Chain A
């Protein structure tokens, strides 16, 4: 057993045990908000600021999204501490977001004393019941002595297998209780199998299909990033010469400029991979889950293709798309097995088919976004310029909506774990706090947040966190005075009836001033380059508010219910 912090035959409180156990798990940054039922833990933390950097957010939702941002860029477990009742319910959105996007989190919530459980005590809520369907595991601790084991279990569960959020609810009496502390890490739970067994005959069959395929297409999901399998994926793709597309969360796993990159999948992805999905004779899905935003109408999805599905989660196999060959396991382990069995190949002709469509999209959409003819500023040109200004090598954080899809389309990447965005849950308000967490996780890399004026206002109070803790986050606020994505749908599918999507906004510059956030307004194209220069060169946090075209649309687009190959260019 490795030596552990605070292992001594001396009685300590449950609260101190919480802090020591976090330190023993290697936690050095955490995000939270104090309150009545968690006060003993905060009191214990007060003696450990040299080891634990606690970031005080302005709302528990902010604490959760910050922990998510931290986890996504570092690959470590994000940690968040909240109080009972409203503290815990405010955390729910972040927990649900982490669940659907497979983000490892440990959330510690205070709870009323065990003698009061179930009595509707002050700030009591059944947080274990509430979060049961949106956590990978949760548990209520009612005895101080159970704390070390529960925390060890929580970290093991959160980060192993397909990662996810774990919530520990600790009653106030358990925080006060005293016991002899000892910490042991856990790497086995009899009812839990994080790594499914790989069936080697499926590897053989997959290799056979890959060798036979004339029109193979690989789909890169977040599983590649979570498994740390970027190198393995690249070796596989290059040996077989297979064009690859990526999901929103698979973005940055492989550098944007790679020869085999054919773009993003799904509703607002690129033209070529969507159209060609129904031409491909083989789909190799690597650590992705065939979300409906990726597949469009399932009855018209990949109709000519056999499907090889590599995933760590057996529940994802055959969930949405039938897998002719399921390959279970961590893709970091299974991809090399596959690479070894396949023959070197060349798919230049097939690649040319993609390039032809990429050219169509470049001419009809991308060029017009990057070099617009109209007077109004477009989101695409801003994102493109910001990406280049950071050498196409920044961490990109987004909120949710049009700007998110635009950022995914126009920002470029050189290294993995450079994207923090709310994929599955589509949580508006995610961006600003997630950017805080990302910057805390990777202080040496630039972190750029793109946010819309709608989502930005959902967690705008976190500007206070940036000021208090001096976190040098770069913010690009793309302001079109609309809830743009909903407005786009209203324009296209609801006869331009703009029900409740026009926003009368505050003066964001004044708000920034109030929060001591250096900022500037870009309301004409001439001001854009200088503002971006300031954004890059300022040492501390900086915000540029860019007034963009009010009724700009994100294209291409797969309309809801349509086949991916019916993607619209306008």
Chain B
């Protein structure tokens, strides 16, 4: 059965790392729904967050292949209920549409969105939330003529108290001390 997974990949920050990671998904024919990449809380370590819809069995194989890449420190796979996650969406609508009625304003209030910029021609609205929520607002705003719409990939934190990677690195460091 296919389900949605959030994959957190911690890696060294090398050129070409994203390509290494995406190749693993390509080879296993798993489509990447969204991807974000940025420096993690640990200096020097990059975090890539990928959303993919596939079978549990297959994503486990993808994970072992990811961990096998030399520059990948560690990857973690989470199901929907194991993470708190957000995406950000920007909508550009004609300012005219806001002035004509209070419907757009009502939508902004109802969806906890906010206005980033207003010019004579257009207004930029921002909304964070799950994809279904940003999608819902997009569909509702569409009647007023959304001239541009863009949505980010996912950012996610786990529901666990401990940071998984920090404990993993501590463990590695201990092993190294024992080895030395």
Partner-B contacts on A (CB < 8 A): 128-129, 132-133, 136-137, 139-140, 157, 187-193, 313-315, 317-319
Contacts and interface: CB of A to CB of B under 8 A. Distances in A.
Contact of A190 (B15, B19, B172): B172
B2 to A, nearest CB: 19
24 contacts: A128-B16, A129-B16, A129-B19, A132-B16, A132-B19, A132-B20, A132-B23, A133-B23, A136-B70, A137-B71, A140-B15, A187-B179, A188-B179, A190-B172, A191-B11, A191-B12, A191-B70, A191-B74, A192-B70, A314-B68, A315-B65, A317-B64, A318-B60, A318-B61
Contacts of A137: 70-71
Interface in B57-72: 60-61, 64-65, 67-68, 70-72
Main secondary structure of the interface of A (DSSP, over half): mixed
Main secondary structure of the interface of B (DSSP, over half): helix
A299 B19 CA distance: 34
Contacts of A318: 60-61
Contact of B61 (A136, A188, A191, A315): A315
Nearest to B26: A133
Contact of B176 (A188, A314, A315): A188
A192 B68 CA distance: 8
Contacts of B64: 314-315, 317, 319
A566 B171 CA distance: 49
B32 interface: no
B16 A314 contact: no
A132 B21 CA distance: 10
A169 to B, nearest CB: 11
Contacts of B172: 190, 193
A315 B64 CA distance: 5
Interface in B1-38: 11-12, 14-16, 19-20, 23, 27
A486 B127 CA distance: 60
Contacts of B156: none
Nearest to B24: A133
A507 to B, nearest CB: 44
Determine the interface band of chain B, counting residues with CB < 8 A from chain A.
20 to 34
A273 B70 CA distance: 36
B16 A189 contact: no
Question: Nearest 10 pairs between A and B by C-beta?
Answer: A315-B64, A191-B73, A137-B70, A192-B70, A315-B68, A133-B23, A314-B64, A315-B65, A191-B12, A191-B71
Nearest to A133: B23
B169 interface: yes
B20 to A, nearest CB: 6
B97 to A, nearest CB: 44
Given A128-B16, A314-B67, A190 B61 contact: no
A129 B14 CA distance: 13
Contacts of A136: 70
Contacts of A317: 64
A287 to B, nearest CB: 16
Q: Which of A132, A191, A314 has the most chain B CB within a 10 Å cutoff?
A: A191
A248 to B, nearest CB: 23
Contacts of B68: 313-315
Nearest to B180: A188
Given A190-B169, A192-B70, A315-B64, 19 more contacts: A128-B16, A132-B19, A132-B23, A137-B70, A137-B71, A139-B14, A157-B70, A190-B73, A191-B72, A191-B73, A193-B172, A314-B67, A314-B68, A315-B61, A315-B65, A315-B67, A317-B64, A318-B61, A319-B64
Nearest to B62: A315
B7 to A, nearest CB: 15
